[in-house]
Amino acid sequence: MSDYILEINSVKKSFVRNRVNIRGEGEDERFFILDGLDINIERGKITALIGGNGAGKTTLFNAISGLAKVNSGEILYRKGNKTISIVDLPSYKITRLGIGRMFQDDHIFPDLSVLDNMMLADSDTFGEFPFISILKSSESRRIEKYKIKKVKNVFISLFGKENFFWEKRNEPAKSLSFGQQRLLGLARLFMGDYKLVLLDEPTAGVNPLIINQIINIVRQMVKEKNLTVFLVEHNMEVVLKLTDYCNFMSHGKIAVFGTPEDVIGNDEVRKTYMGI
């Protein structure tokens, strides 16, 4: 029996758009971007989600993250021996349960330093309570030193002892190249106490060298941190190299599921998604 960390059952999510009817009158039309979607994410595996633009991939990630409320259905997260419904939970509570996310575009704070970007991603919430931090200044200094050491260790683990990111730790994150910012966004996930991470197009817009680094980092997430990874990805070469399972999404549902080779080789997928 498979060990699922996330179960999504019959989830529906609709939006309302205004259209002009045959009489030239404006009227509201409801359409479902997620239409009875079912998907299971196996613990300790890397699962891909592929599909065309508008298929509902980002909407699904928003629903899992608590950024979009679904109309109906279940989203169940398993933490240890507990099964928790996260459908109505706010996003910060979902994060604290152990679900992390890297967004496609907004994955760093550009005006903060590289170091501060990493420290803000730490799972310790002591700094979120300023009055306590002031009253316990010695404890605050101890935690800050601990976080800085943790950042250094993460960078060494991912990029080697002599690495660019530690050297640039005091520079603003916006000074990094786009690919380097993407790597920093991934590194931030190593600061949290996550069990499941959602990656929205992690390789989009970066060069092959950075893509190889991203692949290695995601593998390291699973091997060293015992994480489960669920990712949206358009690069089929990355899907084939990296993932254990693949889901093809069409019209708000999972149309095809299986190994990456089976899904990418499927006639429907090749015709409707890849155009071949």
User: What is the CATH number for 211?
Assistant: 3.40.50.300
Residue 164 has pLDDT above 90, yes or no: yes
Is 243 inside any structural domain?
yes
Nearest to 92 by CA among 191, 10, 192, 5: 192
143 or 7, which is more confident? 7
pLDDT of residue 82: 94
Give the residue numbers spanning the domain of 53: 4-13+35-272
Average pLDDT of the segment spanning 174-197: 95
Is 168 inside any structural domain?
yes
Residue 73 has pLDDT above 80, yes or no: yes
Which two tokens mark 199?
């990656």
Is 26 inside any structural domain?
no
Q: How many CB atoms lie within 10 A of CB 73?
A: 17
Is 144 inside any structural domain?
yes
Is 28 inside any structural domain?
no
pLDDT exceeding 70 applies to what percent of the chain? 93
The alpha carbon dihedral of 49, 224, 92, 144 has a sign of negative
Average pLDDT of the segment spanning 37-41: 97
Residue 200 has pLDDT above 80, yes or no: yes
Is 103 inside any structural domain?
yes
Average pLDDT of the segment spanning 117-140: 67
- Tell me the three state secondary structure of residue 29: strand
Please state, in angstroms and rounded to a whole number, the distance separating the CA atoms of residues 175 and 171. 7
- Tell me the three state secondary structure of residue 189: helix
Average pLDDT of the segment spanning 105-130: 79
Q: How far is CA 261 from each of CA 148, 197, 205, 268, rounded to the nearest angstrom?
A: 42, 23, 24, 14
Q: What is the pLDDT of residues 207-250, one digit of tens each?
A: 999 999 999 999 999 998 899 999 999 999 999 999 999 999 99
pLDDT of residue 8: 98
Average pLDDT of the segment spanning 94-119: 91
Q: What is the pLDDT of residues 139-162, one digit of tens each?
A: 778 888 999 999 999 999 999 999
pLDDT of residue 157: 95
Is 23 inside any structural domain?
no
Residues linked to residue 246 through DSSP beta bridges, in sequence order: 48, 258
Confidence of residue 86 (pLDDT cuts 50, 70, 90): very high
Tell me, letter by letter, the H, E, C secondary structure of 89-145: CCHHHHHHHCEEEECCCCCCCCCCEHHHHHHHCCCCCHHHCHHHHHHCHHHHHHHHH
Q: How many folded domains does the chain comprise?
A: 1
Q: Which range (11-25, 31-45, 91-105, 151-165) has the least confidence?
A: 11-25
Is 187 inside any structural domain?
yes
Q: What is the pLDDT of residues 14-36, one digit of tens each?
A: 988 777 777 777 777 788 999 99
What's at 111, amino acid-wise? D
